[in-house]
Amino acid sequence: WTSVASLAPDLFLWTGDAVYSHADRPSDRGSVEVLRSELSLVRRDESLGYTAFARGVRVDGTWDDHDYGRNDAGADMGQKRERRGLYLDFLGEGLYKPLRREGLYKPLRVGRAKIVLLDTRSFREPYYVPSIGGVHWIPHASVLAAAVCYVSAGVLGLGRNHSAAVLGEEQWRWLTDELAKDDADATVVVSSVQVLSDNPFVEGWGHFPQERRRTLRTLNGTRGLVILSGDVHFAEIAGRGRALEVTSSGLTHSCTEAFYGFLAKVIIERYDTHRTREDMYFAGKIFGSIEFDWERMNMTVSVHDTEGKKVLGMVRKMGVSTVIDIDYLNMIP
């Protein structure tokens, strides 16, 4: 947190997985009671460093599966209203006005930049082959879920026309209305899971191809578009043309540290067609930043290691309409 604070940010965004649920009984993981305890611990335990950091900076964000409640969870998650209340408390009371709608999606403004926080959990329908990642009685369920994703989507090609929803119709209408306002020189879209990735091992919009095409067509033409994502425990920069996605995940976990870590780099390097260059990734503990230069109309998107050193980065022009190669994206498996 000292390294993050050294950048003196005007805004800090959680892009999901602020906590990982632990409990003595596997069946209790992700329960409302456990989430309340763990979110409160991160926010209030001075020894963790976040408490002091959050006092001096504006904090906002959205959730992903682990702070939502269960690995790979979607619309079927129970007690969503209670879970949302806990996460809003974690972000800081008063940040959100009372919302009649469900979910955790909203717009923010930073100067002439618009930030669009999406909720990819509350309304997301099942995968073509439903995930077993959240089944508590299966040992190493998350690893087996990744293997199932790879075999079903990457090898057998199942679900290439899967039409299940990620955002849900209400959130879709809201997103369309926000983008139609066209009142920003830069638009930062925050999706907790990756949008452009072609890696079948991980969660992401690629497993929901019709929803992804619909989203990218909606984003096409947006000025100064950058997509921010997390979830995968490594960093990479993806994009074609003027579309750009920066994945930063995460501060406490790296995919190379798990028992399957020796395979992680192999998998990352195998699936590289979505990246701006094949070497635009970093498998370590990291955080991201965006710096807006309003005089030159540039935004610098960076990924830093835990010491604050910049390990990846791109400079993008603001005020320029984004052109997304939809035909290329249609070819991604």
162-188 tens-digit pLDDT: 999 999 999 999 999 999 987 899 999
Residue 116's pLDDT band, with cuts at 50, 70 and 90, is very high
Lowest mean pLDDT among 92-101, 164-173, 271-280: 92-101
Average pLDDT over every residue of 267-287: 93
The reported pLDDT for the residue numbered 325 is 75
Which is it for the CA torsion 318, 299, 203, 268, positive or negative?
positive
CB 118 within 8 A of CB 191: yes
The reported pLDDT for the residue numbered 166 is 97
Return phi, psi of residue 296, to 5°: -90, -5
The reported pLDDT for the residue numbered 240 is 65
| pLDDT at residue 129 greater than cutoff 60 | yes
Residue 333's pLDDT band, with cuts at 50, 70 and 90, is very low
Residue of 49, 51, 63, 53 whose CA lies nearest to 96: 63
Cα Rg of the chain, angstroms: 19
CB 271 within 8 A of CB 199: yes
The Cα 7–Cα 55 span in angstroms is 15
- Paired residues of 235 in beta bridges: 282
| pLDDT at residue 290 greater than cutoff 50 | yes
Give 273: exposed, middle or buried? Use CB within 10 Å, 0-12, 13-18, 19+.
middle
The Cα 129–Cα 149 span in angstroms is 8
Query: Who wins on pLDDT, 95 or 123?
Result: 123
The reported pLDDT for the residue numbered 54 is 94
The per-residue pLDDT for range 205-263, each reduced to its tens digit, is 999 999 999 999 999 999 999 999 999 999 999 986 667 999 999 898 899 887 778 88
